[in-house]
Structure 1
């Protein structure tokens, strides 16, 4: 356990993830909060149905399907998305680099594989900057310039 303010941060050894509680006094922990694919995975210990003296780990997966999502979220003219694919192994991969001591040398390693592959987003991650080219008439000439689709993420405060 590691305390961060009033929250307790735990590592889930089964998934190799850092997790945090849903609320300050909650026993349910968020393992994955993927804003790009609108998925939240939580876990908590609950009494076993077979033996109420024992606790079992319960995992809850919440998926919000954005009904008006486009195939290309940056292109408002692209067709509506009809297929949504969710792979728990992809959602739970841990790509955050960690430092390890290997024979006296400190090296950076990441626990997940295929971390360089881009993630398919079904909606905007408000922490990312998205833009799309738009035509701009300037001195009689039409130019394509990038327009921010998520301005709060694209421009410093």
Structure 2
């Protein structure tokens, strides 16, 4: 696996984690990019829909039932490895929303321009912050939602603040 050599996860390694296009078009859905078999299951415990399970036990990889997932985003902030994000393709033909866990300070604010980054930290381009959620319910991990060109929906994995 590429990530064990210090590289980012590859499209091939992530293929099984990507919901079918039909599901992506119906509304927000979680993307679970957890590839490390370690004893960790907060996502299973925190999901109010019971959409995340760990077939085979605690040391196995989490699996998301895309049909049960309603896109609430609780799992995004509940994952200590920051390995879950949300994708919403209902923003029109050319736009998408991506909700990311963000643990840096200062937090960006709604309306800020930020740089969207891919899994390797490469710049995709500037995007708008459209929502910032924070609070105790989110296990103190803020969620920053960005509006991205649709073609970046499955690539945008982080952000970097611009200027200031």
Question: TM-score range with shorter-chain normalisation?
Answer: under 0.3
Bigger share in helix: 2
Bigger share in strand: 1
TM-score normalised according to structure 1 size? 0.24
TM-score normalised according to structure 2 size? 0.23
| Larger RCO (CA within 8 A; separation ≥ 6) | 2
